[in-house]
Structures are given as structure tokens and as C-alpha cells.
Structure 1
């Protein structure tokens, strides 16, 4: 029997939390206690994602408030995880590596052998939520981890930008040169009491204008929706403008509506796309993991979008706070009309219905489960926003950057 969207959202929230609770190292004697797998399934079982840990730390207060676990259970997992990151997780100048070994907490996989500023920031966001909710030793551990980070290692002063990555023996490479998911790194970087970057770094990245149909917004180059969602999962930009008058919340609303409109227009005639089947982000696809995107092109940056009929439910779910009615209709369609898309942890990562036989991703991905869970909670209660926004680090960073109530 078809379920209502309210029922589906509750099922998805609980199943997504189960991912973070079950796909974790739960051995208290392990150096990797609390680490969470990058993805479910049979492959890469030893690979933990520090970004997924950030979502996991945020999920524990949700689970406690909804009665899925006790506060004692949540505190034990959160505090033990933070102890892992303070005592064992491999880092460089405080920045952790994108992927860690589930057991040893050492960096995992040669391809990701540099410390990651964005993944460290995603972890820190979850640590802030845990610090605000549990207080005590969790708050102390967050302070220690945060104050150890030397943000200047990632700061390219001549260009007034963050580097995209760091090689310990060669220095920085690439840049966070355009708007993307990195708004959180400016809040965290300027607020550091020990190694801050200058407030002027917020002026360094380009704001690239994009337009599709009736929607205008500042966009990442290839416009995957996670770039408009990840910082917003913790920082509540509703009713806030930056010093330049930019409303980042409204910007994400327009970016989401533009994506959905592209699915409605469907200029390439993909069978999968329509008004209730939309959402392009970084996810699995028939030809592997990639950052799927959709037009519009941003000024001066015409690129080839990854666009092959693949849809990720987390892309629509992650925009629940921006486009609630459009997202709810998509969620109902995903659950009631796409066979095989529901698994142990709720919606599987993606589907593609271009052939007679539907392709369904074989796994869930931690960050994709996380963005849906946090946005469901923010839409229904605002809990994660409240916990994050009340923390002194966030308040200090926002004030320094000039984020003010409209």
C-alpha cells in the first residue's frame, strides 16, 4: 500500500540514522572507535569517511530526541568518537584526511593522501552539534580538536583563497576559487582563537552568476545540489544576509527550483526525468561515482555536465528546507513508484531508468544519507540548526563575517 509523505520521511530519517549507528566501529578498544564507513555494501569496508562522521555526530541528538537511543548511548558514542579524533586520527596541522582506516584511524588510500579542509570542516560541524548538545567532556574535546587546527596552512595569502588541497612536502595546490559547499570553512577559519585566517578571505572567492528559466542565483560551476546544501545543513541562513546583501538561503531555493525546472523541460529527452523525478548531486551512477550536475551554465564557464538519466533521492531530500512541496512530491514518487529503490537504510543512493531494466545503486553513501537526515530534522524541528547556531564559535565567526539578520 502506498505511504504518505509524512510516513516516508519518518521511515527515511530512522533508516538513515541506522546507517550511522550500524556502519560504525563500535569496538571501544579500537583506535578507530566511532569511525563511520564511507559507504555500505561489500567493498571498501575498512574505509571510513570523516565527513560521514560529522553527519553521524549530528545524528545522535536527533536519535535521542526521537527516542531511538538513550542519551547515555548517544553520549558514549559521541564522546568516544571525539576521543578518537583527539588521540588517534591521523592529521596534519590539525586537518584530518578524507578517508581513514576503520581500525587504525590512519589515512586510507593513496589517492586521498592529503589532509582535507572541507571534510575536516564537515567533521567539525558535527563535533559542534555534539558539544552543544552534550556539553561536558564533548565540549572540551571539541575545543581541543578545533584549537589544534592551523587554518593558515590552507590559506594562500597572495590569492586570498583557501587551497583546494595540501601536500605535506610540497604545500598547497588548487583553490576554492568559486562559491561551492565551503561557506562553513570561512566561519570556522576566521573564528579560530589560535590560528585564524583573516576575515578578508570571505571576499576572495568568485560569485558566479547563473540563470535558468525564471531563476537567478550564484552557482558552483557544474551545479550539483550538495554545493547548495552542505553548509546549510548546520548553519541556518534563513533571514540572514551577508555584508554584500547575499541571501544564501534564497540562493539555494532558486538553485533547487532551477534544477527541478530542468527536469520538467528535459531537453535531452531522458525517460527518468520529470517534475517528480529530479535531483543531481555527487552520487553513484551506472558508470561509477561522479558529481552529477544540471544547467544552467555559469557566466564564462561552459562545461560538460554529467547527465545520463541518473537521479539521487538525497539531492531532493537535501533541499527539503528550500522547496518543501516539490521535495515531498519527489519523495512520494521515489518510494511509491520506483521499484527496488528502498533498502535497509532507506533510499539507496541513486537510480537510472533509461533502459528497460531499472538500474539501482548497490549501496548507500554516508554523506548522502546524512544530508537527507539533517534536512528532515531541520524542516520538522530545527534541532540541528539550533544546536549549531548557539555555539560560541559559530556566533563569533558569523559576526566577524558580517552575517546579519535581514
Structure 2
């Protein structure tokens, strides 16, 4: 199943609300007539996108809002919905922001402490957090009628962020060590083994009222690799390696022999076997999990991801549907806000096999680790030539279509987060180093048969 983080929500609704109150704790970039160097431009984009998780976080919890509408027009009470997975990306973004000095470490630690305390009291289901929570109460906000319990995939994104925070703070001051300990205890409470339902596969959801009725086994390949890595890494509720090999890898059936534009797909992309899936599949699992020199018996993960990005790039260069603007400096298809045929705003998993003429800035920006030259071309084109319609207080807006002269002037945590984290990984490798050097992660990867030449295991 492709994770479409808001597909089932009513995003086409518009509510009436007051203009969003903006606390300029992180100063946003001012327009300059000078052309910026690549390094400076990346810093501007990283810092302004970081503001999503600092200036515009949900105020009570400190967690990442599911979405941020700068005009303040939300569906009823939607401004207080927080996202579990997007908040995991946000934890990594906070580490990036502290390391860059966008906020002081002291303020960053205070925010992290606030978040940890909120999560400790929030609804959990066999240790897993739900997809959405109410930022005021910590109570589950159903993502769908039966999706009112634990979401293991969202939880794995959150847990990857927790481990990264713990590693960043664990040798610091006494206050920093205390916060690190809170995150350590939180992630160790996830009952990964429960989510096998006594089978050799992990399941996405469990509900106290609907039990296993959602019935989504996590089988590859899509964005869920990190869920198996986290489950295998758990020192308290781990899974056996055969759950990964028989479940996720389908007893070897995950391997693909197909190629596109002379790039091997390597693994079978669920529902997208000709071109590969939306580009968030190359981002979400790999914000902490470093694909450089990472392999198991099914794939070399650098080749897997870089090939998928290059296929997406080549498709946009070819531009078979002749959409306006597509080319070497305007490409990138992934799940994001979208423009429906009637002109309304929706959500869609854009990819070469589902191309609606909508480019999602996060697609190319978050792929910078794989395609630095090609990604920088998109960043520079949007910033220098389309800034008025694509740039706002939390970085580039979520989606743009030159074909339809349309921009979704909104933001999603699951799109802004990977931009901050992957830019930082490209610049310094910080989040990769922290996550990959965590002892439990090393043990989990080795348990599943992974090898990481870069990190010596």
C-alpha cells in the first residue's frame, strides 16, 4: 500500500480563520538582488524551511502540524492536528536547526523536552502512536473510520527521529542527558512484535475497536523499510529476521529485473513497477538510514534510490505529456497537494505513471543527496525565476503547476521535513551519522543481513 498521508482526509475543504499568528523566532530570508552562491542558497532554503517546525509548530505540543496554511484558512480545528510521522522528521529538523545555529541549543532542548513530555501522555496503542493526534489533548484524531489506533509506519518515522535526538544529546549537559533519556524510554515502549499479529510480517495498523481490520501487511517495496529496521533494532520488543525476509522481502519476491531509461529498478515498486514510485520513497526511510554503501541480499540501496530519482528526472526531461516548464531545472514528482481537474485542491501521489502536471518542490530538493547538480538547478530556478509564486514563510510551497498557472500556497510536514533533513545530510551528513552510529540501529541492521561499509558493519 502506498502511504498517501492525507489522501483520505478532506483537504479540499476550506474553513474561515484568522490570519495565522507568526512568531518570528527564526528570522525568514529577505529578498536580495544578488545571486546567491549554491552554499548560501542551500542555507537560505534549509533555514526558511526549518521555520515550519519552529515558528509554525503546533503551540501546545511543540509537534509538527499536519499542515500549515499561511492564510489561516483551515477546515474546522485542523490547525491543531499534529502528525506523528511528520513530527519524527521535525525532530531531525530541530537537530539540524540547533547544529546550524538557527536556534540556540538551549531553546532547542526546551522544545524537545516539551515534545517528549507531550508524547509520554499522548494516546498509544501497544506502544505505537496514531497517525494523527489532537495537539491540545494528545488524543487520537482518526485518520479514517477504522484508522483510530496505532500506526506503526508513522511511529517508525517518529522513532527514527527520537533515536537521532538521543544520540545528539546523550553526551551533553545534565539537562540534555535527561531529555535524551526521555526519548530513549519512549521509543523502547513500542511493541513492534505485537504488530506481526503472530505472522511473519508487520502490519501497518491496529485499532482497539477494529482490531486488525485495516489489514495492511507491510510488504516491499515502498516507503516502509525503516519500519522493519526499527522493529529489528528494538531491545525490548524486537522481531525475528524472518519477519523481514518473508514479510517485507516476500521471500525474495521483492527483487525486480526491470529497467527504465537503462536504470535498473532493482526492487519491485508496489503499484509502480514500470517507472518506480513517488520520490518520497527515496526520502522517508533514508532521513536517518544512510543509503551510502548500504546493502543486503536484495539491493544496494544507494543504487536503488539514485536510480529511482534519475528515472523520475529523465521522465520529466522526456515530458511525454508536454507539460509546460518540465525540464532539467523543473522536475520532481511525488505525493503532495495537487490540482484537481475542476480546479479544486486535492492530494495525489504524483509519479511518472500518475503525472498531473504538478511538480512538488520537495521531490527534487529532498533528492539532493542523490542528484546534487540536478536538484540545485530546480532550487535555483524556483528561487530566482518563480519566487513570487512559489516561496513563502516556511520555504517553497508544497506544489506548483506552470501548466495550470497554479501554486498550492500551503505546507505539509511530511514534505517540508525531508527538505531540511536531506539538505543537512548533503551538507554535513549529520543526521545520517547520528542515526547510523546508534548501537541498536547497528545491531538491527546486522540482524537483518545489512552491510554498511561506510559505518564499518
Query: What TM-score results when the alignment is normalised by the length of structure 2?
Result: 0.81
CA distance in 2, matches of 1:152, 1:184: 15
Residue 153 in structure 1 maps to residue 194 in structure 2:
yes
The residue number in structure 1 matching 2:125 is 92
Structure 1 residues 264, 384: CA separation in 2 closer, same or farther (over 3 Å shift)? same
Give me the CA root mean square deviation. 1.7
The residue number in structure 2 matching 1:351 is 400
The residue number in structure 2 matching 1:311 is 359
The residue number in structure 1 matching 2:108 is 74
Q: How does 1:2-401 map to 2 (within 5 A)?
A: 2-27=35-60, 33-41=61-69, 42-43=73-74, 44-86=78-120, 88-109=121-142, 111=144, 112-135=147-170, 136-158=177-199, 160-172=200-212, 173-203=215-245, 204-205=247-248, 206=250, 207=254, 209=256, 210-217=258-265, 218=267, 219-222=269-272, 223-242=277-296, 244=297, 246-287=299-340, 288-294=346-352, 305-338=353-386, 339-355=388-404, 358-401=405-448
Which secondary structure does the structure 2 equivalent of 1:55 belong to? helix
CA distance in 2, matches of 1:83, 1:195: 22
CA distance in 1, matches of 2:406, 2:39: 27
Deviation at 1:90, TM superposition (A): 0.8
Deviation at 1:392, TM superposition (A): 1.7
Deviation at 1:405, TM superposition (A): 3.2
The residue number in structure 2 matching 1:30 is none
Which secondary structure does the structure 1 equivalent of 2:204 belong to? strand
Asked if structure 2 preserves the Cα contact closer than 8 Å seen for 1:266 and 1:274, the reply is yes
Write the deviation string for residues 297-318 of structure 1: whole angstroms up to 9, x where unpaired.
xxxxxxxx43110000100011
CA distance in 2, matches of 1:122, 1:180: 14
Which secondary structure does the structure 2 equivalent of 1:289 belong to? strand
Structure 1 residues 216, 94: CA separation in 2 closer, same or farther (over 3 Å shift)? same
Asked if structure 2 preserves the Cα contact closer than 8 Å seen for 1:38 and 1:47, the reply is yes
Write the deviation string for residues 316-374 of structure 1: whole angstroms up to 9, x where unpaired.
0111111111111111112122241001111000101113xx10012111111110110
Deviation at 1:235, TM superposition (A): 0.9
- 4+ runs of 1 displaced by more than 3 Å? 1-5
Residues matched between the structures, number: 386
Structure 1 residues 405, 195: CA separation in 2 closer, same or farther (over 3 Å shift)? closer
CA distance in 2, matches of 1:121, 1:129: 12
Asked if structure 2 preserves the Cα contact closer than 8 Å seen for 1:4 and 1:332, the reply is no
Which secondary structure does the structure 2 equivalent of 1:113 belong to? coil
Deviation at 1:51, TM superposition (A): 1.4
Which secondary structure does the structure 2 equivalent of 1:237 belong to? coil
Asked if structure 2 preserves the Cα contact closer than 8 Å seen for 1:3 and 1:336, the reply is no
Deviation at 1:395, TM superposition (A): 1.4
Deviation at 1:138, TM superposition (A): 2.5
Bigger Cα displacement from structure 2, 389-398 vs 202-211: 202-211
Asked if structure 1 preserves the Cα contact closer than 8 Å seen for 2:162 and 2:187, the reply is no
Gaps of 5+ in 1: 28-32, 295-304
